[in-house]
Structure 1
Amino acid sequence: MDDPLGVYVPGGRLDRQDNEIGALANLTFAVKDLFDIAGVAKTCGCPAYAARFGEPAAANAPAVAALLTAGARLTGRTVMDELAYSLTGANPHHGTPTNSDAPGRTPGGSSSGSAAAVAGGLCDLALGTDTGGSVRVPASYCGVPGLRPSHGAVSLDGAMALAPSFDTVGWFARDTEVLQAVSEHLLPLDTDGAEIGHLTIAQDAWDLAEPETQRTLASWQDRLRQRLTGGDARRLADDSGGLAAWREAFRSVQAREAFAQHGAWIAESEVPLGPELAQRWTWVRSVSDADADAAWATVRTAAARVQALTANGGVIALPSAPGVAPPINGDADAWADHRARVLALSCIASLSGCPQVSLPVARLDGLPLGLGLIGPQGGDRALLAFASRLLPANQERDPGAVFDEA
Structure 2
Amino acid sequence: MSSTPANLWVLLGLGIAGILIMTKRLKKTVKADFGAFIERLQLLPPPQPAPPKAPHPLSGLSFAVSDVYDIEGFVTGFGNPDWSRTQDPATQTCPVVAALVDGGATCVGKTVVDDMALSVSGQNKHYGTPTNPTLPARVPGGASSGAAVAVAAKLVDFALGIDTDGGVRVPADYCGVIGFRPSHGTVSMTGLIPVSGSLDTIGWFAKEPAVLRRVGHVLLQVPYAAQRNPRNIFIADDFFQSQKIPAERITQAVINSVEKLYGRQVLRQDNLGGYINLKVPSLKAFKDKQLNGEVKSSPLGFLANVMQKIKRHEFRQNHNKWINAIKPTLDPIISAQIAGDADLTDADIEKLHTIRSELRLAINAILKDDGILVIPTCSDPPPKLGAKEIFSEDYLLRTSSLSSLASISGCCQVVVPLGVHEKCPISLSLLARHGGDRFLLDTLQAMHASLQEQFVAAAKPTSSPKAISQESSAEMAKEKGNQAFKEKQFPRAVGFYTEAIKLNSNNATYYSNRAAAYLEMGSYLQAETDSTQAIDLDKKNVKAYLRRGTAREMLGYYKEAMEDFRHALVLEPNNKRAAQSTDRLKRWFQ
Q: Please, what TM-score do these two structures have when normalized by structure 1?
A: 0.92
The CA distance in 2 between the partners of 1:378 and 1:123, in whole Å, is 28
How far apart, in 2, do the equivalents of 1:224 and 1:280 lie? 41
Deviations 1:43-66 (A, max 9, x none): 1101232233x2111111111001
How far did 1:391 drift?
Answer: 1.1
Partner of 1:234: 271
What letter matches 1:234 in structure 2? N
* CA–CA distance in structure 2, aligned partners of residues 146 and 4 of structure 1: 20
Q: Is the 8 A contact 1:216 1:362 kept in 2?
A: no
TM-fit CA distance, 1:23: 2.6
The amino acid of 1:362's aligned partner reads G
Structure 2: tracts of 5 or more residues without a match:
1-28, 49-55, 285-298, 458-491, 503-590
8 A contact 2:305–2:397 mirrored in 1: no
Equivalent residue number for residue 159 of structure 2: 126
Residue 117 of structure 1, aligned match among 150, 157, 166:
150
- RCO higher in structure (CA 8 A, sep ≥6): 1
Does 2:251 match 1:218? Answer: yes
Three-state SS of the structure 1 residue aligned to 2:184 is: coil
Aligned partners of 1:145 and 1:174 also within 8 Å = yes
Query: 180, 183, 187: which one pairs with 1:150?
Result: 183
Partner of 1:366: 423
1:387 corresponds to 2:444: yes
Q: CA deviation at 1:313?
A: 1.0
Give the aligned partner of residue 51 of structure 1. Answer: 85
Partner SS state of residue 30, structure 1: strand
- Confirm or deny: 8 A CA contact 2:33 2:150 kept in the other structure: no
Q: CA deviation at 1:366?
A: 2.2
Residue type of the alignment partner of 1:324: P
Which runs of structure 2 are paired with 1:123-272 in the superposition (5 Å)? Answer: 123-189=156-222, 195-210=229-244, 212-223=245-256, 225-226=258-259, 227=262, 229-235=266-272, 236-239=275-278, 240-241=283-284, 242-272=299-329
- Structure 2 contact 249–455 (Cα < 8 Å) conserved: no
- Contact in 1 for aligned 2:33/2:155 (Cα 8 Å): no
Contact 2:172–2:178 under 8 Å retained in 1: yes
* Aligned counterparts of 2:160 and 2:375: Cα–Cα separation in 1: 23
TM-score scaled to structure 2, two decimals?
A: 0.64
Q: Verify: 1:7 aligned to 2:46, yes or no.
A: no
- CA deviations on 1:165-209 (whole Å, 9 max, x unpaired) are 111011001211110111121013399x96432111223432441
In structure 2, how many angstroms separate the alpha carbons of the residues matched to 1:254 and 1:313?
A: 30
User: 2:316, 2:241 → 1: CA distance?
Assistant: 32
Paired AA for residue 321 in structure 1 = C
Query: 1-side partners of 2:453 and 2:320: how far apart?
Result: 44
Aligned-residue Cα RMSD (Å) equals 2.5
Asked if 1 retains the 8 angstrom alpha-carbon contact of 2:389 and 2:395, the reply is no
Report the Cα distance in structure 2 between the residues aligned to 1:89 and 1:288, rounded to whole angstroms. 31
Separation of aligned partners in 2, 1:244 and 1:19: 48
The one of 330, 344, 348 aligned to 1:273: 330
**Within 1, Cα distance between the matches of 2:255 and 2:391?**
31
Cα gap change, 1:178 to 1:285, in 2 (>3 Å): same
Percent identity, aligned pairs only, is 32
More helix by share: 2
Contact 1:132–1:343 (Cα < 8 Å) also in 2? yes
Deviates more, 1:353-362 or 1:212-221: 212-221
Q: Which amino acid aligns with 1:18?
A: P
Whole-Å Cα distance in 1 between the matches of residues 328 and 238 of structure 2? 42
The answer as to 2:386 corresponding to 1:329 is: yes
Q: Report what 1:104 is aligned to.
A: 137
TM alignment of 1:28-47, pairs within 5 A: 28-47=62-81
Matched length = 400
Q: Which residue of 1 aligns with 2:60?
A: 26
Aligned twin of 2:292? none
Return the alpha-carbon distance in structure 2 between the equivalents of residues 89 and 74 of structure 1: 22
Which structure has the larger Rg over C-alpha atoms?
2
2:489 is aligned to none
1:93 aligns with 2:126: yes
**What secondary structure, in the 3-state scheme, does the structure 2 residue paired with 1:155 have?**
coil
Structure 1 regions of 5+ residues with no counterpart?
none
